[in-house]
Structure 1
Amino acid sequence: MTAATTAAISTTAATATATAPTPAELRSAELERHLVQDPGRFRVLTGDRPTGPLHLGHYFGTLNNRVRLQNLGVDVFVLIADYQVLTDRDTAERLGEYTDGLLLDYLALGIDPARSTVFNHSAVPALNQLLLPFLSLVSVAELGRNPTVKDEIAHSRQSAVSGLMYTYPVHQAADILFCKGNVVPVGQDQLPHLELTRTVARRFNERYGNVFPEPDALLSAAPLLLGTDGTKMSKSRANSVPLGATPDETARLIKGATTDADRHITYDPDARPGVSSLVLLAALCLERDPHEVAAEIGTGGAAALKRTVTDAVNSHLAPVRARRAEYAADLTYVRSVLRAGNERANAVAEATLEEVREAMGTIR
């Protein structure tokens, strides 16, 4: 998806809602201009939890943007957050399999190990050691009222909420600040987490001296893609179309997607969310305006819509799937990418922890 296509779809959505941009959106737009003008000033921290296959929502929501930022010349750190799997799960099942899957998707989509650093939580002890001093800078009340923590608790599959769940936002702050990330690509729902990271950085600097930047949010320009059941596309809800799916699997999943009884296909996200999400998916893959795609399908109904979407997705992902298969045939190389990334992340984390110790006076 090109930047022009994203902008066009975003402009369409903005026109439809006719709402004024929020302060966070204005700051993000200004940040985007600076990123393009001087990418070398910035370091991005982003990542995923290895809890299942990445899907089309990830692809258009975050993954494409990581590659774009990397190609601009921004220093990109991509975290495989294996420790965070334990926040809402009793055990980290299939962790190795899912980690390999993330690596395969990253490489197939264009993450370049020579320009981006891919690493995992559990391999970087100094990063995790930052959690202790950072926890001393926030109150229990601040953690308890974090909206993302509340949502995670509400959807937790554990019989009881672990203490790790409450530390999740502070652990995320350590993820961002260990490498002195100053840009974090997020959706609107992640803004409270990032605000807590900014709070941790500010309080540490005020108490111990200037060590950390206060990272800014780069808001995603990609509209939300719904899952096949009409709710938010999610690995845990079994309603997604995985990037690693075969063409036949993709066709089967899209065929079962929720639509409505109106045969005339239109793009109207508020009134027809299921239909509109499918139209949008086709438009993103075809790099076209969703209204044009809907108009071409016309009175073809849900069957014609789903055929259009299936063909668009399979065509768009064909080269990605081919590269993924090539990498899957050489897992020794794929895992070496993670080892090299872990080495760099460790060096960065240890240097930051050394600064923290000196600032706090714990080294004599």
Structure 2
Amino acid sequence: MHEGSFEATLKRSKQLAAELEQTPKKFRVLTGDRPTGRLHVGHLFGSLQNRIRLQSLGVPTFIVIADYQVLTDRDHFDSIAENTLQLAIDYLSVGIDPIGEDTDIFPHSHVPELNQLLLPFLTLVTLSELDRNPTVKEEIQSAGLKRINAGMYTYPIHQAADILFCKGNVVPVGKDQLPHLEITRTIARRFNEKFGQGKQVFPEPQPLLSQAPLILGLDGSQKMSKSRNNAIMLSATAEETAALIKKAKTDSERRISYDPVNRPEVSNLILLASLSTDRDPESIAEGIGDGGSGKLKLFVTEALNDYLRPIREKRRELETDLGFVRGVLRKGIEGARAVAIETLDEVRSVMNMNI
């Protein structure tokens, strides 16, 4: 992606953020996660808090649990149902509220009408376009796949179906996810041109670029990840959190300073404390001063455990009431299917397939 085009995208994203506050009902957001395990504090500060903010504005939001997509790069599927429940519990515990009309949480394998969009969408994208997608290449590399199944290559088209079934016009993304969204925009545009006959059947969804900071792994790697065992899960106990932070990578310099470029590991811990206390990172670093990594880790542990305490309490309540959690998912499936049926009927109509 050219830097100039990214600057234009960033500018539009800022305008979009302002419009969302002024006219929230004008938009429809699609976001979600794959059920590969429980969520961690990187998800909390990186995406979940933004979803809660959009919810508080009253923006209609669909949260898809992308269970089919787990099959694209994993051989094991025995834990998908359990992970789906745990993902829903994580959503509910942080404050996402699907009880009203504005938010639906659903696994996309339970919305067959959504998946029927795959077939017409597949005819609108070339193999070379899919082959060039940098996000797919990175996912194949990170998964270490030796045999690439067709589902991995069509991953962006499945995401397009996830977004367009509900006519989502806003998608919160990071910079690295923009190529996936561009394929969705291409599919929407080509569908409208080929079948719409002057009518806009699908909107071209706009990216809402994340302003959330990137949380590094506790081992100093570039991203907190459950697969790398360098994450603090939302379901972790206070004691487990303390043990993980105690082992977190820092450096040998005793005086604590906030310098993300030259001291990324130390600065990452300070950032976690900042996000947990709503204090400036610089003031936290200044307060710890010559206390070294030991004092820093103690401060981070107490701040993060205090922040997570109500989330963990809510999580424990939900784990004892799985009937409620399943009811939330059933409600989400019902809401998503109602929208998907309407969209699919319109799609069949413009493609001259209704009988």
Counterpart pick for 1:233 among 224, 234, 240:
224
In 2, Cα distance between the equivalents of 1:235 and 1:196? 28
Partner of 1:316: 307
Determine whether 1:220 maps to 2:210: yes
Instruction: Name the aligned partner's letter for residue 258 of structure 1.
Output: K
In 2, Cα distance between the equivalents of 1:335 and 1:158? 33
Q: Displacement of 1:159 after TM fit? A: 3.7
In 1, Cα distance between the equivalents of 2:149 and 2:296? 44
Counterpart pick for 1:94 among 66, 79, 99:
79
Matches within 5 A, 1:259-278: 259-278=250-269
Aligned partners of 1:89 and 1:157 also within 8 Å:
no
Gaps of 5+ in 2: none
Matches within 5 A, 1:291-302: 291-302=282-293
Counterpart pick for 1:354 among 319, 330, 345:
345
Partner of 1:58: 43
Partner of 1:144: 131
Determine whether 1:282 maps to 2:273: yes
Instruction: Name the aligned partner's letter for residue 205 of structure 1.
Output: N
Instruction: Name the aligned partner's letter for residue 136 of structure 2.
Output: V
Q: Displacement of 1:157 after TM fit? A: 4.4
Aligned partners of 1:48 and 1:79 also within 8 Å:
yes
Instruction: Name the aligned partner's letter for residue 189 of structure 2.
Output: R
1:54-87, Cα deviation, whole Å (9 max, x unpaired): 0011000100110110110000111110001011
Determine whether 1:130 maps to 2:121: no
Determine whether 1:195 maps to 2:185: no
In 2, Cα distance between the equivalents of 1:224 and 1:77? 24
In 1, Cα distance between the equivalents of 2:78 and 2:265? 32
State the number of aligned residues. 346
Partner of 1:112: 97
Determine whether 1:72 maps to 2:57: yes
In 2, Cα distance between the equivalents of 1:339 and 1:43? 20
**Please, what TM-score do these two structures have when normalized by structure 1?**
0.93
Counterpart pick for 1:85 among 70, 86, 89:
70
**SS in structure 1 at match of 2:226:** coil
Partner of 2:88: 103
Q: Displacement of 1:158 after TM fit? A: 4.0
In 1, Cα distance between the equivalents of 2:23 and 2:55? 13
**SS in structure 1 at match of 2:9:** helix
In 2, Cα distance between the equivalents of 1:90 and 1:281? 34
Q: What is the aligned-residue identity percentage? A: 59
**Please, what TM-score do these two structures have when normalized by structure 2?**
0.95
In 2, Cα distance between the equivalents of 1:185 and 1:315? 28
1:20-62, Cα deviation, whole Å (9 max, x unpaired): x821211110000000001011110000100011001100010
In 1, Cα distance between the equivalents of 2:293 and 2:132? 42
Of the structure 1 ranges 65-74 and 148-157, higher mean CA displacement relative to structure 2 is found in 148-157
Determine whether 1:161 maps to 2:148: yes
Instruction: Name the aligned partner's letter for residue 198 of structure 1.
Output: R
Instruction: Name the aligned partner's letter for residue 154 of structure 1.
Output: Q
Instruction: Name the aligned partner's letter for residue 20 of structure 2.
Output: L
